Structure 1
């Protein structure tokens, strides 16, 4: 790992644990035992370092998704696992993005544009794989399905004021909402796999 990579990763950890606004370039320099001048030479300013640190955060999230999907039985289970991981880390991600929106809107907007496009590309590939494997209906509008999935899932990820029925956790509600979405676009084969996954599912089972 190069010095620049080490700084980016350490800064990312500090932003996540201590808060984006409260971490100063002086704090990062002191933590890493480098001069503040070195930080400015490598990254220009805090926004430059912040962008790279948050990019690192989201890349680590994607690496976690890849690990979660490594032993999935099919693409449907992979999608359940990825969406579950998004839900499990929603508080941290939401806090970071809220801070970025408030204090560093240019960084927030750039990360949002890039992240949205990457997410759409990955879910598009998964949906196409599901269609090719006979799990999803081949007549679905893939881009519309992605948009519906995004807004359906975000109902629980971002709407913390959403009132749930008594006795159901956010995680359980999330799984039910997502599974109902998949049922709407699945073939008979896909429906069987959804039922198979849900019979094996336990809240928190896929967390890492």
Structure 2
């Protein structure tokens, strides 16, 4: 039952937002009493924590799987983007923004975990890209990996990029285009343009 509650809550939070969804609405959507929810989660914060941790684990496992396929680094970045978008369902409610606003401690903890996972993955991607001649030899991989993280999380800032004006999928594509053009060799640009046509 715990997993069912997490799954349904995740769906509701992604579509309507962490703040908007009440425990009553979650109970109604599941066809159970609120008492049943409180049997597994002491309060809404505990449920939000479980949901965000579950989402994080699923996305992390997916990223590990994509990185294990050993595709070329540019294709890998777009494959990870696709995976994240599938899990976050285009972020209609800007969950990251709501998490930051209403659950700041949880948001900071999640951001640190995201950085650790992404830093390792992005560093490996950059190093392989340089070796394969897709990325320029003179890039500072540590600096680029940090700037990449700031950018990819920054485009989810609802103050900067309001959801009524921007679609997350096209924002992600624009950001990846911006990021990769700054580090690609001519050979890498050809691969990037192939990906942009497909995406």
Q: Which residue is 2:161 aligned to?
A: 160
CA contact (8 A) 2:18 2:98 kept: yes
Distance 2:52 2:60 in 1: 13
Matched ranges for 1:1-208 at <5 A: 3-62=1-60, 73-83=71-81, 92=91, 95-131=94-130, 133=132, 135-136=134-135, 140-153=139-152, 156-158=155-157, 159-160=160-161, 170=171, 173-183=174-184, 191-199=186-194, 201-202=196-197, 205-206=198-199
Distance 1:156 1:23, change over 3 A: closer
- Residues 34-65 of structure 1 show CA distances to partners (whole Å, capped at 9, x for unaligned) of 33233223222111110111233344445665
For residues 93 and 128 of structure 1, the distance between their equivalents in structure 2, rounded to whole angstroms, comes to 34
Task: Give deviations 1:111-149, integer Å, cap 9, x for gaps.
Answer: 222222222122123223334545446665432120122
Q: Gaps spanning 5+ residues in structure 1: where?
A: 162-168
Contact 1:87 1:157 in 2 (8 A): no
Q: CA deviation at 1:75?
A: 1.8
Q: Work out the CA distance in 2 between the residues paired with 1:174 and 1:32.
A: 38
- TM-score with structure 1 length normalisation? 0.69
Alignment RMSD (CA, Å): 3.6
Instruction: Give the 3-state SS of the residue equivalent to 1:201 in structure 2.
Output: helix
| Deviation of 1:66 (Å) | 6.6
Aligned residues between the structures: 189
Query: What's 1:164 paired with?
Result: none
Specify every segment of 5 or more residues in structure 2 that has no aligned partner in the other structure, as ranges: 163-169
Summarize the Cα distance change of 1:99–1:44 in structure 2 as closer, same or farther, 3 Å threshold.
same
* Alignment TM-score, normalising by the size of structure 2: 0.72
